[in-house]
Structure 1
């Protein structure tokens, strides 16, 4: 359904599964394992895997916290998008990378559910992409000390919120790791 013409392909977008981003996430190991399964599934089907890596003053480029978690390994031929904003499209080359691959549909996983994941999902739909969130492959840290709900509630609300998201000619939606389908769309 994407509004981008001649973009039948799907890509897996792995957002910010970095040491310092997921270190304190209560369901870190489960989410990282699901992300690893998604990466393996995408690779087995010849689907592009695009990695996104955040940096800012609290997550300086090159630091141990900035590194992707050791359980996930990016292949040299898989694009790496460096970002400094919540939305993975903002001031990056992500749109160009996806255009080269004729991608009109994104399967999104990673962290933080209430920040970079949500921003990227919205950024994708606004730019004409379909964007599916993998419900059991995203997480967030505990920010209850600052008034946020517990992390499991943030994840559940993000899933609830995104499951029915639609825009003219575009759609959101959620799916579990086991139900991900990378088949090309009829755009």
Structure 2
């Protein structure tokens, strides 16, 4: 049986993007391509008491995102989308063991979710050109994105090696199956 094509989109929210993020337009377009081709789409949204309050405009997903009518939504309060959330129960309920990961912020929430997901045994493919972050004091966003793609590509998980692929290659593989 072919596995379902699942995409998890992390923190692509209005309030997160009040800080400029690298290649917003291109990243969002590639995320839309993934969500349009996926069987299951899960949007992760960060919330906090002082900012990104549920129901607020800051909490809302970016208006340019494609939001499939059957998408799922998970709210989190930490960088890791698995930490004290319903994500793992949802993945179990939907019988999802493999998924594509994309979104914001590369060096925080995407990275934490990636590492925890791999450790839990999920087969993760990071969409290398569909995650973004802001410039940081230590490095500009484009350097951080390339750095994390390299880290994830080399991540040692002997029984569960992750993949890091461009969206075009992910979509081609989905179309071939």
Q: TM-score, normalised by structure 1?
A: 0.85
RMSD: 2.0
CA contact (8 A) 1:9 1:104 kept: no
Partner of residue 161 from structure 1, selected from 147, 151, 172: 151
Give the 3-state SS of the residue equivalent to 1:171 in structure 2. Answer: coil
Counterpart Cα distance in 1 of 2:4 and 2:28: 24
| Counterpart-to-counterpart distance in 2, 1:98 and 1:166 | 23
Match for residue 44 of structure 2?
A: 52
CA shift, 1:51, in A, is 0.9
Question: Are the aligned partners of 1:18 and 1:66 in contact in 2 as well (CA < 8 Å)?
Answer: yes
1:95-134 alignment runs, 5 A limit:
95-134=88-127
Q: 1:71 to 1:61 in 2, by over 3 A?
A: same
Q: 1:72 deviation in Å?
A: 1.2
**Residue aligned with 1:68, SS:** coil
TM superposition shift of 1:182: 4.2
Q: Is the 8 A contact 1:7 1:103 kept in 2?
A: no
Partner of 1:33 in structure 2?
29
- Structure 1 residues 49 and 182 mapped into 2: Cα distance closer, same or farther (>3 Å)? farther
Q: Secondary structure at the match of 1:66?
A: coil
Going from structure 1 to structure 2, the CA distance change for 1:70 and 1:178 (only over 3 Å counts) comes to same
| 2: CA distance, partners of 1:103 / 1:182 | 15
Give deviations 1:100-151, integer Å, cap 9, x for gaps.
121111100000000000000011011110111101000001222xxx2101
Which runs of 5 or more residues in structure 2 are unaligned? none
TM-score scaled by length of structure 2: 0.89
Q: Which runs of 5+ in 1 are unaligned?
A: 1-5
Q: Secondary structure at the match of 1:58?
A: coil
Number of residue equivalences: 172
Secondary structure of the residue aligned to 2:28 is helix
CA distance in structure 2 between the partners assigned to 1:73 and 1:89 by the alignment: 23
Q: Which has the higher contact order (CA 8 A, sep 6+)?
A: 1
